[in-house]
Amino acid sequence: MSFRLILASASLLTLAACGAPEPAPAPPPEAAAPRPLLTAAQIEAGLPRPDLRPSTPPTEGAPTPAYAPDPGMVRLQILLDRSRFSPGVIDGLGGENTRQAIAAWRKANDLGEDGGADAALLQALAAADAGPVMAQYTLTAADIAGPFSPPPGDDLAETARAGTNFTSALERLAERFHVTEALLQGLNPGVDFRRAGQTLVVPAVDDTPLTGVARIVIDKTERSARAFDEAGTLLAFYPATIGSSERPAPSGTVTVVGVANEPDYTYDPERVSYDRGDERIVVPAGPNNPVGTVWIDLSRDTYGIHGSPDPSKIGKTASNGCVRLTNWDAEQLAAGVRPGVVVRFI
């Protein structure tokens, strides 16, 4: 027997003793991509459900209901926002701000104020604005760049020290596209908002500023602000937070004195009537400043129309006497006013 045959026989004996070699393990299956709450196609074709009602907070002790935005409501809110009849923040749930925007749009377009979010309304809105309501956006290095600040709290001095920048890239993008953070994440599951280069699905909003505002009407009961031109045509409707029972907004007529973009906020106990201590505090400019990104100064001392660090609370909480809008609505309105524009509180 040759040496080569002996080696071959030894190999066979070894294999027989040790067993056949194990096959290479199969690669693990790829994880399924997370599914969005809604797709762009669903929203583009959506009609609000007839039974859709404003969301209500759960009773104490009850489980929090799952977030379930309606595609037709998202579409409707985007179309209202682009028509300058603002629903406030776009959340896909509807609510009082959306209901009031619908009523104002219907009245302005001779459709009657009593109808709801039906197919006829959407057809009329879409006829006036036929563009897609959804778009794609690629995250940039500027979007994810800081500095970011912690969420503002009730302690003004601490807010002044910590800063009033956005808390994250997610908050910055949600505000840019007039949408809640929850809906933006729901449209883009699995996206890391801290990494540039990713493609997002976003509302196709329009930030074109107003022009030619001659008169503003602040309705304290309805909690709204309306902007009119010289001919009395309604240019825009915005939900608003307007004063409180302890610190009501003014009554009667005042005028616009000027506009300050990116204002700081000064608490001066010698000039304001609400109590936040005896120390004068200057909070630096930033989107989460107490007056947001813009201040429209009024001829009544310490009163103005301004933005907000929390768009989801517009029309749902109180203010210290001023008129508070979302930052994007306040910026749009501010671009169209000039000193002397009449502001009437009713």
For residue 35, being part of any structural domain is answered with: no
- Do residues 194 and 202 make contact, with C-beta atoms less than 8 angstroms apart? no
pLDDT digits (tens, 9 = 90+) for 138-176: 999 999 999 999 999 989 999 999 999 999 999 999 999
Domain span including residue 95: 42-48+68-128
> Could you tell me the CATH number of the domain that includes residue 277?
2.40.440.10
Q: pTM for this one? A: 0.86
Same domain, 75 and 188: no
Task: Indicate the residue among 203, 235, 263 that finishes a domain.
Answer: 203
Task: Indicate the residue among 79, 106, 128 that finishes a domain.
Answer: 128
Please, which pLDDT band fits residue 34 given cuts at 50, 70 and 90? confident
Same domain, 288 and 332: yes
Task: Indicate the residue among 203, 231, 256 that finishes a domain.
Answer: 203
Please, which pLDDT band fits residue 72 given cuts at 50, 70 and 90? very high
Same domain, 177 and 224: no
pLDDT digits (tens, 9 = 90+) for 288-300: 999 999 999 999 9
For residue 3, being part of any structural domain is answered with: no
For residue 274, being part of any structural domain is answered with: yes
| Residues linked to residue 136 through DSSP beta bridges, in sequence order | 201
Which pLDDT belongs to residue 16? 37
Which pLDDT belongs to residue 251? 92
Give CA separation, 296 vs 1, 51, 164, 248, 310, in Å: 104, 39, 19, 18, 18
3-state secondary structure of 10: helix
Count of structural domains within the chain: 3
> What does the CA dihedral 246, 250, 256, 260 come to, rounded to 10 degrees?
0
Same domain, 155 and 255: no
For residue 182, being part of any structural domain is answered with: yes
Same domain, 123 and 139: no
Q: Tell me the torsion sign for CA atoms 177, 180, 184, 190.
A: positive
d(CA 47, CA 71): 7
Q: What percent of the chain has pLDDT over 90?
A: 71
Same domain, 278 and 292: yes
> Could you tell me the CATH number of the domain that includes residue 102?
1.10.101
Query: What H or E segment, with its residue span, contains residue 334?
Result: helix 327-335
For residue 15, being part of any structural domain is answered with: no
Number of neighbouring beta carbons within 10 Å of residue 146: 9
3-state secondary structure of 308: coil
Which of 10-24, 56-70, 107-121, 271-285 is predicted with the least confidence, judged by mean pLDDT? 10-24
Residue 193 has pLDDT above 60, yes or no: yes
Please, which pLDDT band fits residue 18 given cuts at 50, 70 and 90? very low
Same domain, 341 and 269: yes
